[in-house]
Structure 1
Amino acid sequence: MEQTLQVVASPLADVAPLVDVLTEASTSALLSTPSSKGYLSHLTTLPLGELNQEPIALQTQSHHLTSSLTSFTHTSYPTFISLHKTTTSFASSIDALTSSLNGLLTISLPTLEDSTGIWKDRTEAVLRERGKARVVLEQHEKIRDLLDIPVLIDTCVRNGYFGEALSLANHVTSLVHRADGTKDKPPPAILTSVLAEVQHSITQMHLSLLATLYEPNRKLPALWKAVNFLRKMDAFSGEPTSSSLASLLRPRSTSLSARTDASSRTRPPNPSSEEQLALAFLIGREVCLKSTLEATGRDIQRLVNQVSSGQGDSDVDKANDAGKAQSKGKTKGKVKELEERDKEDLARYLKKYIDAWREGVYDVVTQYATIFLERSPTHSDAATSTDNDDALLSRLHTLLRTYSTRALSTHLLTILKPSLPLLTLPHLPSLLTQLNYCSTAFSRLGLDFRCILTSGGGLFSTSILAIVKRDLETATEKWEVRVEKAHGAAIKSSARITSASSSRKAVSPAEMPSKWLVTSSSVDSPPLPPSKRASGTAGPAHIPPQLLASYPPLAQLTNAVLGVLNGLRLVVPRSNDTFDGTSKSEDASLSAEGVCSLLKMLDDIILDHGSSKLLTYLQFVVKSLQAEEPEAGSERKRLREREERIVVAVGRAFFEVFAAFVRRALVEGVYGYELERVEKGGWKVRGGPSEEWIERVWLENRKTFEKLIKDMYGEEEEEEEDEDEEDEEDEDDEDDESE
């Protein structure tokens, strides 16, 4: 049996298993279950006999199971009924649970999640506000102190506690830098607000300190304090304190800062903050100086403008009618003279103005020197500070010199130049003394301006020449008016003479010389100078010859000239040295230049113009006397001879006595030089030949007068003149021997 099985098994070794055959042939799903596959595999292992008995065994087991199940069902049907109900109830419960879970996942949970998010958002804002409120409550004292800082700074600025104000501002700046942890985040809002208020307060402090520099009557301590705090604020640098505070309020931009740095590297260097601060100081004190000088300067300018307006009016009046004169402020040439009261007021205003200018400028210069030139060097490295400090100090000195020169030229010289020529000579000595004292005081500060006052062509030299010229023109004008009055009626009478009148009636002057040129006691025998040469040189240079008293018009002209010279004596330096034009002394040079200019002015105005008018009158008188009829009686002849004697006496008194005396009075009486040496050495001072310098019109008029006398008296006069010349030569020889 075993051999048969072995024989049978051998050919079926390569046949597919029964399970696979049945599975492929059947479409039932029962054969695919694991239990079916296991049972089919078991069948293949059974022998054929057992395999044939297998259906019977299966059927028997099926009947047995059916009967057992029927019995069990019969006996346990309540259990099955209960199990069925329970199973049905459990299935429905599972379905309800499934639907509940589906609703929870799809509806309830998303709604809960949304509600939770909304609640979180609402509670976060509340919690944040509560957190802020808690922080504010915890930091209440510090926040209150921070908010009080701008008020404290304002109070400190108003009360002058500038150091405390700067300390508070620096404290706020440090708080901002501490709170500003990240560079891309702006400072907190409260710090931004406080910074804005602090910046405004510091700006007000800056303006208050600058306003201190513009306040008049501020002394050195207050100005020192203001300048020092402006230095601490670095108010005139590229980034002052207020700007640095403002920079914290602006958003940061890397590209902008880079462009700013690049532009700052290419920009030319600006003046240092110390120079700008010094310039601001000088500007502020300059405004105060102007306000101090304004009132007095306005009064001076008012009087000067009167002269200017009068000059314009005089030009119009001259164009309309050259013969009319103003009743008030009479014009002399191109200058209108002030009244005596106005001159006194002008001199008083000038003294007051000079004192105010001296005090104001001296205060500014000393304050500037103390604040900017005498302070300690700037705080910097020792290796580089020396050169920088020296350069800065040099520029500050230059700024002071520039201001001093400007203050002198702008405030003082511009007032003195138009004002001094309007005064009289007695007013000048006190002003010159006052200005010399002022210059001496300023010389300690390096501002000695005496050379501008008294040197050749200086302020007072020019003013003295202008005043002397004006006074001499006034005296000459009065003389000419008097001569024209005696001569002028003849011009009118000549117009009334018709060509039809064939009579030889002469045209006579309005006044003959005997009526006005000599005193009544000297009409018949007018006094004559003893000699042509010694008449004007005898006696002291400051005492006029007694002979001139016999000629009232000449005496008046002499008194007018002496009045000018007496005033001149007070303002010019008198020299005891000999005049040779080679002295190196400033006063001697000034005297030499002054005496030469004034002598030329005296010759031009008094002698040239005065002698021309007098010579014209005398020529007309002689012509009228010679034109009289020769058949006139003895009385008429006696009167004519008397007039001729007066003509000769007046002419000789003018040319020989008056001219020589006034020239000696100027050169010897005022300056102390010898007239002869001045005439010989004047060319060394003036730079020209002496012959050209001493040539004058009045000398030509003198020669014309001598020729007139010769024509009038003929040979007799020539013989007398020859005798006089011989006497003069003898006197000269005697003088030479005595010398």
Structure 2
Amino acid sequence: MLEASEETIRPGRHQAQWGNGQDEPHKFQDADQDNAYLTELLSYSLDRLNKEPSLLLEDQSCIRRMMQDCAASHHSAFMEATKSLADVRDHMGSVNTHLRGMLEALPSLEEACASFSESSGQVVKRRQSHKQLQANHPQLLELLEVPQLMDTCVRNSNFDEALDLEAFVSKLAFLHPELKVVKGLHDEVKRISSAMRQQLLKRLSGSIQLPECLRIIGYLRRMSALTEPQLRLEFLRCREQWLAEQVSELDTQNPYDFLKKLTDIHRLHLFDIVMQHKAIFSDDTTANPEAHVAADAIILSSWAHHRVTQYLEALKAHLPRIKEGSSLSSVLEHSMYCGMSLGRVGLDFRPLLPPIFESCVANLFTMSLGNALDCFHAALEKHKWIAMPSVPSSIKRTSSKGSSAGSERSGAVPRDGDSEPSEDLSLARGVCQRAAAGVQRAAALHPAGAAHARGAVAAGRAPGRVLRAVAHARDAGRRGVGAPGLRVCLLHHGRRRVPLHRFLLRAAVPRKLGHG
């Protein structure tokens, strides 16, 4: 219990010792209070001693609250006192520093006064130069207005005057490189010259003709900012940018119109760009003409190859979307004419067109043949089949020999009684004619496509539904339940030992479509 009491009162004792250690009477007073308190504790009963720690804690909390209330009510005074003390300390230090600095600066002040008297002569010289500057003020003002005048010339497209001003400032900077004013003028003129070069390149990226191209390239050469190879590359880059913008503006919803307009753009503008390049850079002379011509050819041919490749890629991407043979033929005609026109400048790409259009013609023919045979199959399903009486074998052999001999002599299809293969044979011919009509015009312009399509069908690579429809018709004819004309047609086909789909193709497709 005594130890708890001592621990409880220990903070007060420590607080008494936190002073500056110079107030000895307070120490003796605290010791007397401690002795009195210990004497009082010895006189307490056991119950009173048990309650003493809690009472001390209550007193401690009460004293702490009183201290907090006192600090809260007088916090502004504490803060002001602390701030004032810090300010006083700072001011005292700065005062001491300033005093020391003043004492140290007195000798330098004396030296400065002496140097001032010496520099008065220089001030007089500057005054004279200022008088001279004032006398030449109009001429200097005109010189300082050169960048603004050059900028106005560039904005109004007076490039000749702007280049003359640039040459004047460059000569002035060469004669007086030590003058800051002249150097500043030269830097400002260089900035405006860079803006003029960008404006010229922007014009070169628009729709311009050869005379305008010659003027722009002449201005760029006078500026001497680009070498000749760089000038060629910039020319082709600008024209490529303009040509790409023309292509990007085309509507790709209708592939036929898109490809025709794309072909016209390449036929007209690609030819113009190549001619402009040859006309502009043909009179250049270098120390090594052969190397110059080779470099020029490499730059131009690389760009032309890139442009033609882009055009062929567009053909490959959009040709499969065309579903009509006449449209495909028209696109092929435009492409061949474009290649022939560009052949005058060495860009004849017509040998690269057959593989692209050949596959499209074959796919179009196969698709059309499949659609037509679907209609033919539907017609066979809807046809009212008539059971035909069986023919005796002896009569069949006799009639077959006579009919075969007659057909071999006359080349006519044998008949079964009085029936004519008019209705069903017309239907069979219409199936293949519908498929061949879509690619007939394209085959006339490019026979290899039709030959490829005909070869695919003749080799048995027709769609599965085509073969199933033919097999269904053949089985119906053999059973004798087909229409009279169709049965006779199938019987004649069976004697000739020719695949039925090839027979129908021969009946429908003209010979020139297959062999061109």
TM-score above 0.5, yes or no: yes
Question: Structure 1 residues 152-161 or 594-603, which shifts more?
Answer: 594-603
2:140 aligned partner, one-letter code: I
Output aligned runs, 1:136-151, within 5 Å.
136-151=133-148
Distance 1:391 1:232 in 2: 24
1:349 aligned to which of 233, 251, 258: 258
Choose between structure 1 and 2: higher helix proportion: 2
Cα distance change, pair 292–395 in 1 and its aligned pair in 2 (3 A): same
1:127 aligned to which of 118, 124, 133: 124
Cα distance change, pair 646–213 in 1 and its aligned pair in 2 (3 A): closer
Q: CA deviation at 1:534?
A: 4.8
2:184 aligned to which of 182, 193, 196: 193
Distance 1:205 1:395 in 2: 28
2:211 aligned to which of 216, 221, 242: 221
Look up the SS of the partner of 1:413 in the other structure: helix
Look up the SS of the partner of 1:398 in the other structure: helix
Distance 1:291 1:117 in 2: 71
2:224 aligned partner, one-letter code: D
2:236 aligned partner, one-letter code: L
Does the aligned pair in 1 maintain the 2:339–2:348 contact within 8 Å? yes
TM-score normalised to structure 1 length: 0.46
> Does structure 1 residue 666 correspond to structure 2 residue 509?
yes
> Does structure 1 residue 467 correspond to structure 2 residue 364?
yes
Q: CA deviation at 1:548?
A: 4.4
Cα distance change, pair 351–646 in 1 and its aligned pair in 2 (3 A): closer
Distance 2:213 2:152 in 1: 21
2:442 aligned to which of 568, 571, 591: 571
Look up the SS of the partner of 2:358 in the other structure: helix
> Does structure 1 residue 230 correspond to structure 2 residue 220?
yes
Q: CA deviation at 1:125?
A: 5.2
| Residue aligning to 1:513 | 385
Look up the SS of the partner of 2:283 in the other structure: coil
Output aligned runs, 1:418-457, within 5 Å.
418-421=317-320, 422-454=322-354
Cα distance change, pair 155–282 in 1 and its aligned pair in 2 (3 A): same
- Residue-by-residue CA offset, 1:461-495 (whole Å, 9 max, x unaligned): 22211211111121223334555x56xxxxxxxxx
> Does structure 1 residue 280 correspond to structure 2 residue 234?
yes
| Residue aligning to 2:174 | 177
1:601 aligned to which of 451, 457, 471: 457
> Does structure 1 residue 208 correspond to structure 2 residue 199?
yes
Output aligned runs, 1:617-628, within 5 Å.
619=475
Distance 2:205 2:338 in 1: 25
Q: CA deviation at 1:233?
A: 2.1
Cα distance change, pair 531–427 in 1 and its aligned pair in 2 (3 A): farther
- Residue-by-residue CA offset, 1:547-573 (whole Å, 9 max, x unaligned): 54321xx53342131133344332335
| Residue aligning to 1:365 | 274
2:208 aligned partner, one-letter code: R
Look up the SS of the partner of 2:439 in the other structure: helix
Look up the SS of the partner of 2:155 in the other structure: helix
Does the aligned pair in 1 maintain the 2:372–2:431 contact within 8 Å? yes
Look up the SS of the partner of 2:315 in the other structure: helix
Look up the SS of the partner of 2:208 in the other structure: coil
Cα distance change, pair 166–404 in 1 and its aligned pair in 2 (3 A): same
2:152 aligned to which of 155, 165, 170: 155
| Residue aligning to 2:374 | 477
Does the aligned pair in 2 maintain the 1:428–1:571 contact within 8 Å? yes
Distance 1:405 1:652 in 2: 58
Q: CA deviation at 1:438?
A: 1.6
Distance 2:121 2:410 in 1: 123
1:377 aligned partner, one-letter code: T
Does the aligned pair in 2 maintain the 1:214–1:288 contact within 8 Å? yes
Distance 1:441 1:649 in 2: 54
Distance 1:565 1:211 in 2: 51
Cα distance change, pair 114–611 in 1 and its aligned pair in 2 (3 A): closer
Distance 2:114 2:151 in 1: 52
Cα distance change, pair 448–288 in 1 and its aligned pair in 2 (3 A): same
Distance 2:478 2:183 in 1: 107
Output aligned runs, 1:529-568, within 5 Å.
531=404, 534=407, 538=411, 547-551=420-424, 555-568=426-439
1:277 aligned partner, one-letter code: L
Q: CA deviation at 1:425?
A: 1.1
Cα distance change, pair 118–445 in 1 and its aligned pair in 2 (3 A): closer
- Residue-by-residue CA offset, 1:200-249 (whole Å, 9 max, x unaligned): 1111112112212222x12222222222222222323xxxxxxxxxxxxx
Distance 1:162 1:430 in 2: 47
Identity %: 21
1:598 aligned partner, one-letter code: R
Does the aligned pair in 2 maintain the 1:537–1:660 contact within 8 Å? no
Look up the SS of the partner of 1:571 in the other structure: helix
Distance 1:663 1:599 in 2: 12
Q: CA deviation at 1:115?
A: 7.7
Look up the SS of the partner of 1:514 in the other structure: coil
Look up the SS of the partner of 2:249 in the other structure: helix
Does the aligned pair in 1 maintain the 2:368–2:434 contact within 8 Å? no
- Residue-by-residue CA offset, 1:139-173 (whole Å, 9 max, x unaligned): 22331221121112112222223233233223222
Question: Structure 1 residues 611-620 or 360-369, which shifts more?
Answer: 611-620
Look up the SS of the partner of 1:570 in the other structure: helix
2:506 aligned partner, one-letter code: R
1:367 aligned partner, one-letter code: Q
| Residue aligning to 1:649 | 488
Does the aligned pair in 1 maintain the 2:366–2:462 contact within 8 Å? no
Unaligned runs of 5+ in 1: 1-112, 181-186, 237-272, 303-344, 379-384, 487-510, 516-527, 541-545, 575-586, 624-640, 674-739
Look up the SS of the partner of 1:444 in the other structure: helix
Output aligned runs, 1:692-703, within 5 Å.
none
Q: CA deviation at 1:659?
A: 4.6
Greater relative CO, 1 or 2 (CA 8 Å, sep 6+)? 2
Output aligned runs, 1:665-684, within 5 Å.
665-666=508-509, 668-671=511-514
Q: Which has the larger radius of gyration?
A: 1
TM-score normalised to structure 2 length: 0.64
Give the RMSD, CA atoms, in angstroms.
3.8
Q: CA deviation at 1:621?
A: 9.4
Distance 1:404 1:393 in 2: 16
2:136 aligned partner, one-letter code: Q
- Residue-by-residue CA offset, 1:159-199 (whole Å, 9 max, x unaligned): 2232332332232222223224xxxxxx2221122122112
Does the aligned pair in 2 maintain the 1:536–1:660 contact within 8 Å? no
